[in-house]
Amino acid sequence: MDWLIPKSSKRSTGPDKPNQPHHALFLQAPEGVRAHVLKQRALLHPKFELVQQILEREPGGTGLARWTSPKGGYVMRLVGYKQLLPQ
């Protein structure tokens, strides 16, 4: 393990070269990317809708929390909340 520590500190978040051929074979063309994104949207959209419904039902209207709603993206962000219990 002593040899691994110095090498692991120099990692990069750059391109995933070993998997690029797999991605290219799987997606094949821009149409393949679009089709894959639509499949992902079909899986994720109902989950975002459920989270939105729960947020509106539970803390909604109480002033305890505020959140963003995704408009075509995959990020829902809690932008403000009030602490319920003293620290």
Range of the domain at 44: 29-81
Q: What is the pLDDT of residue 8?
A: 66
To the question of pTM greater than 0.85 for the whole model, the response is: no
Q: 14 lies in a domain? A: no
Higher pLDDT residue, 35 or 73? 35
Dump pLDDT digits (tens) for 3-44: 766 766 666 666 778 888 898 899 999 999 999 999 998 998
Q: What is the pLDDT of residue 19?
A: 86
Mean pLDDT on 48-69: 86
Q: What is the pLDDT of residue 29?
A: 93
**79 neighbors 67 (Cβ within 8 angstroms):** yes
Q: 65 lies in a domain? A: yes
Q: 18 lies in a domain? A: no
Residues in the chain: 87
What is the number of domains present in the chain? 1
